[in-house]
Chains A and B, each alone.
Chain A
């Protein structure tokens, strides 16, 4: 369960907007977070309270493959992103580092800046407490649910490499390419 205020953005928020390429050599999420959205919304990082939720339009995270984009969002204290749709590389990157994403056009439409949101990640239910409305996000495919349950791709990789941690390896067979 995550709770926070909505921080609203429009369509096609690209990764250069989320974090400019000039910070590519920075790996500290907190430092990245201080520059999150600085080109399109100066002062954004200062105004975020820990737990806040970004609510974006369509094609959120388009552009570069830089994984520092979801890291910057996490580093700024954001607990999740709700959007009408996500760009593909950003979607993978966020899932891999366990930043929750929810695809839900109705929630994006029905939420304004500063609304109080509560999200049940297991059910994919987004509740707008300020407006007394509830929305259902598209569920994660089973495969991605497993990745999220493992805590992200690094943890998944660790389990594959370490047979001693075998009891969590639920997809051993299907994770081995057959070709």
Chain B
């Protein structure tokens, strides 16, 4: 069996499962946010439910429209806060939270071998920890909150093998943008990705989270990594319960295996209006833009802020552009403060925001206007994603975005920081 099949079989109480089979799987964590949670609560009540299946396994994280941007979002959070209080479930509010996909791994709430379902498409992020994690809609989440299990069609697995080692200024974001462009935005629809190879072993946890996070942009149901010493080190002071480490069998059956040699891969830039439309940064150089965003569940990790700060230290954001930095969680915000990263950003002329999804879905804290162009470390450059449908969004890694913010045009980080 593949890694995904092993985890699903264990949660379906079966010795083995086959792709295409429908199984009922027990879930270790059910998550929702202020973006989709209210509808889940309404469906919960419509089902006639009185109690969640296990208050310790249900978590609500306020991240999309917080600190509340308007009356409606304030009232949504208020209703969710009351639901959480009534049910005794875990609730993370403004000032004690962060972007859900950064927060849950940090708090040790998702562990290797888990099945986690969340009311957000980027729930697949937790695959970096060797968990089977997938996004669902509000009604599915309501059902899982009530019953503690959900139905799944066992996905075929697509094995991705990355040969070589990433060059300077190349990280998880570049590998995943390249992958999505190669296999297509529906190249893995309904499938589970399994990330393997020399390059993957070399990647830091933050880069693995970035890659797993964007599995959905290729249509995948989940994107999984094997547990290794880096995973264990990350979990060292975070995990507060035992976890199971699964690995794919040597004779596991994959729908397809795709191999890449990434040793000469350039930093990637995804052009409008698709994450599957990326090219090497050399083919984007010189493009002018108005706003730069560094943050999100994709690239709001500590390693991302360090990479951006390495570029921005002692430099200034170009006067023609504005730059917004959004740390992924309170823990990262604090650590960035201790390391002096926030000071570097502020001195460079960037706006530093409290953790929030904010600008990524065009919700608040940095929406873009008609005719504007934005370069961003986020995950989607769909039409209208960050605000006006007449804006253009380019996606890149944090070093490319920071260097471009200094240059006032898209550049290779080496152009600004030297080799």
Where the two chains meet, the residues of A that have a C-beta atom closer than 8 Å to any C-beta of B are 12, 14, 16-17, 20-22, 24-27, 39-40, 58-59, 62-68, 70, 85, 87-89, 92-93, 96-97, 141, 143, 152-154, 156-158, 160-162, 174-179
Least CB distance from A121 to B in Å reads 20
Q: Roughly how many angstroms separate A62 CA and B185 CA in the complex, as a whole number?
A: 9
Query: Are A177 and B189 in contact (CB-based, < 8 A)?
Result: no
A16-B383, A177-B149 known; A92+B140 contact, CB < 8 A: yes
Q: Roughly how many angstroms separate A93 CA and B119 CA in the complex, as a whole number?
A: 11
Least CB distance from B62 to A in Å reads 13
10 closest Cβ pairs, A-B complex = A179-B13, A93-B137, A67-B137, A21-B361, A157-B47, A39-B384, A39-B389, A59-B186, A25-B72, A178-B13
Chain B residues lying within 8 Å of A62, measured Cβ to Cβ, are: 185-186, 219
List B residues 166-222 near A (Cβ within 8 Å).
185-186, 189-190, 216, 219, 221
Query: Are B147 and A89 in contact (CB-based, < 8 A)?
Result: no
Least CB distance from A105 to B in Å reads 13
In the complex, which residue of chain B has the Cβ closest to the Cβ of A160? Answer: B147
Choose one: A58, A152, A179; the contact of B26 (CB below 8 Å): A179
Query: Are B185 and A12 in contact (CB-based, < 8 A)?
Result: yes
Q: Which of B14, B39, B46 has most A Cβ within 10 Å?
A: B39
In the complex, which residue of chain A has the Cβ closest to the Cβ of B49? Answer: A161
Query: Are A64 and B361 in contact (CB-based, < 8 A)?
Result: yes
Chain B residues lying within 8 Å of A152, measured Cβ to Cβ, are: 139
Q: Roughly how many angstroms separate A92 CA and B187 CA in the complex, as a whole number?
A: 19
Choose one: A22, A96, A97, A156; the contact of B363 (CB below 8 Å): A22
In the complex, which residue of chain A has the Cβ closest to the Cβ of B12? Answer: A179
Chain A residues lying within 8 Å of B138, measured Cβ to Cβ, are: 67, 93
**What are 23 of the A-B contact pairs (CB < 8 Å)?**
A16-B361, A20-B362, A20-B384, A21-B362, A21-B385, A25-B76, A26-B72, A27-B42, A62-B219, A63-B216, A65-B136, A68-B39, A87-B186, A87-B219, A93-B137, A153-B43, A153-B140, A157-B143, A158-B47, A161-B146, A175-B24, A176-B24, A177-B11
**Is B35 in contact with chain A by the CB < 8 A criterion?**
yes
**Is B274 in contact with chain A by the CB < 8 A criterion?**
yes
In the complex, which residue of chain B has the Cβ closest to the Cβ of A90? Answer: B137
Q: Which of B72, B151, B153 has most A Cβ within 10 Å?
A: B151
Chain B residues lying within 8 Å of A25, measured Cβ to Cβ, are: 38, 65, 72-73, 75-76
In the complex, which residue of chain B has the Cβ closest to the Cβ of A20? Answer: B384
Least CB distance from A43 to B in Å reads 13
Least CB distance from A89 to B in Å reads 6
Q: Roughly how many angstroms separate A176 CA and B26 CA in the complex, as a whole number?
A: 10
A24-B65, A62-B219 known; A96+B47 contact, CB < 8 A: no
Query: Are B49 and A12 in contact (CB-based, < 8 A)?
Result: no
Q: Mark B53-65, 1 if CB is under 8 A from A, else 0.
A: 0000000000011
Given A21-B35, A178-B13, A179-B26, 7 other A-B residues pairs in contact with their CB atoms under 8 A: A21-B362, A40-B383, A65-B137, A88-B221, A93-B140, A161-B49, A176-B24
Q: Roughly how many angstroms separate A93 CA and B39 CA in the complex, as a whole number?
A: 12
Least CB distance from B184 to A in Å reads 9
List B residues 118-164 near A (Cβ within 8 Å).
118-121, 123, 135-140, 142-143, 146-147, 149, 151, 153
Choose one: A65, A97, A161; the contact of B119 (CB below 8 Å): A65
Choose one: A17, A24, A92; the contact of B36 (CB below 8 Å): A24
**Is B25 in contact with chain A by the CB < 8 A criterion?**
yes
Q: Which of B75, B121, B216 has most A Cβ within 10 Å?
A: B121
